[in-house]
Structure 1
Amino acid sequence: MAQHVVVIGGVALGPKAACRFKRLEPGSRVTMIDQSDVISYGGCGIPYYVSGDVSDEVQLRTTSFHMERSPEFFKAVKDIDVRTLTRATSIDRDRKQVHIRNVVTGETDVLDYDKLVIATGATPRKLGLPGEDLDGVSYVSTPHDAVRIRERVTRGEVGSAVIVGAGFIGLEMAEAFADMWGIDTTVVEITGQIMPRLVSPAMAQMGQHHMEEQGVQFHFGETVERIEGEDGKVTRVVTSKRTLDADVVIIAAGVVPSSDLAREAGLNVHDRGGVFVDEHMRTSDPDIYAGGDCAIIRHLITDKPFFLPLGSMANRQGRVIGNNLAGENATFDGATGSFVVKMFETSMAGSGLSLDAAKDAGFDAFSVLLTQMDRAHFYPTKDLMTLELVVEKPTRRVLGIQGFGTSGDATVGRINAVAALLKFHATIDDIANMEFAYSPPFASAMDIVNTLGNLADNVLRGINRGMGPDGFVELWNNRDADDCFFLDCRELPNAEPCMERNPGRWHNVPQGEIYQRLDEIPRDKRIVLVCNTGARSYEAQIMLDASGYDDVVNVQGGMAALKKYGVEI
């Protein structure tokens, strides 16, 4: 029987659900409403329009065959009625009606529905700062925001930019300003690192260091107190510690799900916002579905409620909803939180839990960090990649993985491979024996992911006891302590520059000469072993253990990780 489906929201999930349903039930009717005048756009592409990588804003809302996804397009190509500039003001679940109002004319109307989809998305988190209404202060949410920011830049009005927040949007906007336009760019973050809770402090420092090399400045542990201006235009940002010049300010402090409409309709909504849905994407009303940035789903690692505002998530959920609107029984079981963010020539990616997040969730967890070539060491275009694996000790279950490497497909490809296994409670044994397509231009014979699993196994066995670059820095910077013996296990030509810069503090015994030169290695100090990537120092650790040394640690990732971290020995 033909039915009428009303979709509230026309950006990502709404159009996907509407189009899928119409393909399955072409005889049914679909009405989609959105309070904006632009619909079905790629919001995640906004920073790349600002940067100039995407030349025209219209590209964010066109199909792969270059048709603009306008109301006329949806009517002609998809047979979907679209009402833009139309806000849903209330939902009457008893009468199965949506009350709407035109945001320009104020005209009201009522839409009857058989099934309803709530795809209201999320809105930027408002900080309520004095001066937020000044010209030049923007949230990054819609194509209109992008056009306004880029026009200001191209007119030559922006010499300095301040970005509030070091999450995805904040970092992407920082790159957009600094890379393409050469703008003096500063990021202010209330926590102590970029991408808080998503990656470890060590991984975050690597990303931060690379961005600082490209000219981006960071100030951590600071709050923005107010924004000041002259003649109605922004001129500076005042934080808890300093004053920063700013011709443009981007507030990127995260987003909050737009779920007030659902709450007012009596649907089950999270205390902090977001509509609860089941595995079929149904709300607490079986005739109403929800998804995308306004929905709360299940975290497949913690089994707890999870808010994940991503366009890719919305599209996949939209297909599930479209199927179920047509009477099917499709499911969306949840997510592990996979992500990737581009940082100039590098990228940071991950899935599952970081170590801090795992511990906060109650897991008895540890992590291992590895730096290794992303393809055969003899292949000319090889590059170093750093991966961190988070593991539950008692079960050997992998709880998460994060990576930092070049901005090509190598890093995110490794993360995606592991991400696919996480919901199946994969262990480090699964990771160590994971099958990868192999050829020297693409991978090592023992892929870095396999080695990462083996490293975790060796740590659990107690034969590889190590620390990350952050732990090394803490020891190295404590120059008053004389209880550490820093031993470089590389060959002399590699170690000699460090020895010359740090006479009497940096020592060298190549790994292959350990047994012959034990008399040079003290037994009454902690031995801190370093090599290029942590492989030879691991071998050296086993040799020293066999020789009776009882306090030996290996620097995971070696000199390669220390360099990415920003350490100069």
Structure 2
Amino acid sequence: MAKRVVIVGAVALGPKAACRIKRIAPSFDVVLLDKDDLISYGGCGIPYYIGGDVDNIEALRSTSAHVLRDSNYFQNVKGLEVRTRTEAIAIDRRNKKLKIRNLVDGREEQLDYDKLVLATGATPVVPPLPGIDLPGVSVISNLHHAKTIKDMVSKGQVERAVVIGGGAIGIEMAEALTDLWGVETTLIEMMDQLLPTALGKDMALPVKKHMEKNGIRVLLGERVNRILGDSVNGVQAVETSNSKIPCELVILSVGIRPGSTLASEAGLATGMYNGILVDKCLRTSDPDIYAGGDCVEIPHLVSGHNLPMPLGSLANRQGRVIGTNIAGGCEHFKGTVGTFCLKIFELGIARAGLTVKQASEAGFDPVHTVVVQADRAHFYPDMQLMYIKLIADRKTKKVLGIEAAGSHLDAVKSRVDAVAVLLGQGVGLEEITTMEVGYAPPFASAMDIINNAANSLDNIMEGYQVPIDVIDFLKEFKGNNGIVLDVRSPVQAGPFVEKYGRQWLNIDEGELKSRLAEIPQDKPLLLVCGSGPRSYEAQLLLRSQGINNDTKNVQGGIGMIMFSDPEFAPKDY
């Protein structure tokens, strides 16, 4: 059994593993080291500190009892030996020694270990752009970066900012700068959508519209060519493939790479993303060396592929598993389904599993639905619409992924969490259609949106419903490639008829059967109602009567159209 444990990295996983070891095996000698002097902080809270939701940077380093997690805390309270400003530079696996360097005085020494834990995190990708080293250009990877940026903004040194990268951190930073400080912020993403690894295009489009509504300029499909400025005045502008954007601050958020150099130089196995490979016990290819957090690749429980999953929640869970196993226990970390959530102003986003694109790349034949429904009972006073996308494999009906959005953040997260628990078990669609969830009007509808999403997807798979995504609908409609049949009441549909004329036909659902002769036969019909169910029933009716079989039901109805493209609606709608 191990007696001396050395842990490299003291932000998330490292402290968790160290404290777990000392709780179970108090006699163990545990050494925790890190290159920085600020350790054990909530890195995911950095955008909220910059944006003012978290007033004091020390809050990110404190326990729930408001005790500062510094070296003294871990040494005096947890019984650890802590070495900050210390870099691990080489592993001698044969002799079980770790070579370290003191970054203050440059002194090097060897640390003996029985077990070694690598919690080396990830490093931000810095693109090789001209001007990348100018003052005012920064990544966001630690508290020092956070403090520097907030000091600049709070002192009025930044009127305009450019965020490069449309992933979660980029979006959070754009919101932080805009919401509290009123900085004129532009977000640039080289792909044709925001959150390209987290959401499908149909769910990412509303995110873009929501950010623009809140004052952020979003540029998609643009490449940054250079950053302009000089060493005296700092950043002055960002030049892209299409424009030049004046600014005083540039934040880089274009991705991260697993911090695996120490491991790979020691001959430990790494994967296709250069992350450290580990087994279910989180042991590396050397059984005396464990690893976890942002530096490793772990199995995706839906696709089966190994990949990095840089989430603080996973790092903490993995830290506990490592600590237990080193102290003599036997726990497994099976993998991840990539559960993820994000706040964008008042909008909540969450997802788990695979996107449609990722599912196709993994060899599945994905089918999806988008459902819009009240997140409480529809009659409850503070209900808000929620938008759910559910994805399953056509042949097996295995559920592959879920994406959700809505303004009640906890309600969005709870729905995704409920499905995420099942994704790793390979459940079929039937399990979601009948899944039991709590019901009371202040919390949900009697038929929860999760159940209805599964029902809708089942209808599509069985061929009852023929859908069209909102993005495709907007393209078809604006290209005059179809006529809308709106089965809402004339009061609801009237403004759309007035705006779009003959391209927008309104027949109330209650009158549809008696007015079938008015249905055009020479053009495709795009069926729409408030959220989709009534227009689906209209599709079934028309098919049963042999009338215009070339119909498609707009997924999510007017609710999803408005969510995706608010300008589509008539004025004052």
TM-score norm. by structure 1 comes to 0.98
Tell me, yes or no, if structure 1 residue 216 matches structure 2 residue 193.
no
> Bigger shift: 441-450 or 459-468?
459-468
The Cα shift of 1:523 comes to 2.2
Question: Contact 2:2–2:114 (CA<8 Å) still a contact in 1?
Answer: no
Tell me, yes or no, if structure 1 residue 525 matches structure 2 residue 523.
yes
Partner in structure 2 of residue 392 of structure 1:
393
Tell me, yes or no, if structure 1 residue 365 matches structure 2 residue 366.
yes
Partner in structure 1 of residue 308 of structure 2:
307
Provide the rounded CA distance (Å) in 2 between the counterparts of 1:23 and 1:142.
Answer: 28
Question: Contact 2:93–2:266 (CA<8 Å) still a contact in 1?
Answer: yes
Partner in structure 2 of residue 174 of structure 1:
174
Question: Contact 1:161–1:249 (CA<8 Å) still a contact in 2?
Answer: yes
Instruction: Give CA deviations for 1:15-43 in whole Å, capped at 9, x if unaligned.
Output: 00000011010011000110001100110
Partner in structure 1 of residue 496 of structure 2:
498
Provide the rounded CA distance (Å) in 1 between the counterparts of 2:150 and 2:251.
Answer: 12
4+ runs deviating over 3 angstroms: none
Partner in structure 2 of residue 256 of structure 1:
257
Q: Secondary structure at the match of 2:416?
A: helix
Q: Call closer, same or farther: CA 1:245–1:469 in 2, change over 3 Å.
A: same
The Cα shift of 1:232 comes to 4.2
Question: Contact 2:273–2:307 (CA<8 Å) still a contact in 1?
Answer: no
Partner in structure 1 of residue 70 of structure 2:
70
Counterpart of 1:37 in structure 2: which amino acid? D
Partner in structure 2 of residue 352 of structure 1:
353
Instruction: Give CA deviations for 1:418-458 in whole Å, capped at 9, x if unaligned.
Output: 00000111111111111111000000000000000000110
Partner in structure 1 of residue 565 of structure 2:
566
Provide the rounded CA distance (Å) in 2 between the counterparts of 1:402 and 1:357.
Answer: 13
The Cα shift of 1:271 comes to 4.0
Q: Secondary structure at the match of 2:516?
A: helix
The Cα shift of 1:181 comes to 0.8
TM-score norm. by structure 2 comes to 0.98
Partner in structure 2 of residue 335 of structure 1:
336
> Bigger shift: 386-395 or 268-277?
268-277
Question: Contact 2:343–2:409 (CA<8 Å) still a contact in 1?
Answer: no
> Bigger shift: 225-234 or 82-91?
225-234
Please show how residues 80-99 of structure 1 align to structure 2 within 5 Å: 80-99=80-99
Q: Secondary structure at the match of 1:286?
A: coil
The Cα shift of 1:552 comes to 1.3
Q: Secondary structure at the match of 1:269?
A: coil
Partner in structure 1 of residue 127 of structure 2:
127
Instruction: Give CA deviations for 1:375-424 in whole Å, capped at 9, x if unaligned.
Output: 10100100001010111000101000001111520001100000000011
Instruction: Give CA deviations for 1:517-543 in whole Å, capped at 9, x if unaligned.
Output: 001102232111110000110111111
Instruction: Give CA deviations for 1:322-352 in whole Å, capped at 9, x if unaligned.
Output: 0000121110000010101110000111000
Provide the rounded CA distance (Å) in 2 between the counterparts of 1:540 and 1:511.
Answer: 7
Please show how residues 227-306 of structure 1 align to structure 2 within 5 Å: 227-230=227-230, 231-306=232-307
Question: Contact 1:197–1:356 (CA<8 Å) still a contact in 2?
Answer: no
The Cα shift of 1:363 comes to 0.6
Counterpart of 1:25 in structure 2: which amino acid? A
Q: Secondary structure at the match of 2:389?
A: strand
The Cα shift of 1:109 comes to 1.2
Question: Contact 2:301–2:335 (CA<8 Å) still a contact in 1?
Answer: yes
Counterpart of 1:338 in structure 2: which amino acid? T
Partner in structure 2 of residue 33 of structure 1:
33
The Cα shift of 1:485 comes to 2.2
Provide the rounded CA distance (Å) in 1 between the counterparts of 2:287 and 2:58.
Answer: 37
Please show how residues 149-160 of structure 1 align to structure 2 within 5 Å: 149-160=149-160
The Cα shift of 1:126 comes to 1.4
Provide the rounded CA distance (Å) in 2 between the counterparts of 1:288 and 1:119.
Answer: 11
Cα root mean square deviation, aligned: 1.0
Provide the rounded CA distance (Å) in 2 between the counterparts of 1:369 and 1:271.
Answer: 33
Question: Contact 2:384–2:408 (CA<8 Å) still a contact in 1?
Answer: no
Provide the rounded CA distance (Å) in 2 between the counterparts of 1:2 and 1:418.
Answer: 39
Instruction: Give CA deviations for 1:64-105 in whole Å, capped at 9, x if unaligned.
Output: 111111111001110000000000010000110000001121
Provide the rounded CA distance (Å) in 1 between the counterparts of 2:219 and 2:157.
Answer: 24
Counterpart of 2:348 in structure 1: which amino acid? S
Q: Secondary structure at the match of 2:392?
A: strand
Identity %: 46
Q: Secondary structure at the match of 2:501?
A: coil
Partner in structure 2 of residue 184 of structure 1:
184
The Cα shift of 1:486 comes to 1.0
Question: Contact 1:344–1:407 (CA<8 Å) still a contact in 2?
Answer: no
Q: Which runs of 5+ in 1 are unaligned?
A: none
Provide the rounded CA distance (Å) in 2 between the counterparts of 1:74 and 1:302.
Answer: 39
Partner in structure 2 of residue 6 of structure 1:
6
Question: Contact 1:338–1:350 (CA<8 Å) still a contact in 2?
Answer: yes
Q: Secondary structure at the match of 2:525?
A: strand
Provide the rounded CA distance (Å) in 2 between the counterparts of 1:355 and 1:206.
Answer: 17
Instruction: Give CA deviations for 1:159-208 in whole Å, capped at 9, x if unaligned.
Output: 11100000010000011011111111101101000000311101000111
The Cα shift of 1:61 comes to 0.6
Counterpart of 2:128 in structure 1: which amino acid? G
Question: Contact 2:477–2:483 (CA<8 Å) still a contact in 1?
Answer: no
Partner in structure 2 of residue 193 of structure 1:
193
Q: Which runs of 5+ in 2 are unaligned?
A: none
Provide the rounded CA distance (Å) in 1 between the counterparts of 2:272 and 2:410.
Answer: 38
Counterpart of 2:186 in structure 1: which amino acid? T
Question: Contact 2:16–2:316 (CA<8 Å) still a contact in 1?
Answer: yes
Question: Contact 1:529–1:552 (CA<8 Å) still a contact in 2?
Answer: yes
Please show how residues 42-57 of structure 1 align to structure 2 within 5 Å: 42-57=42-57
Partner in structure 1 of residue 413 of structure 2:
412
Question: Contact 1:22–1:28 (CA<8 Å) still a contact in 2?
Answer: yes
Of 486, 489, 496, which aligns to 1:488? 486
Provide the rounded CA distance (Å) in 2 between the counterparts of 1:270 and 1:452.
Answer: 36
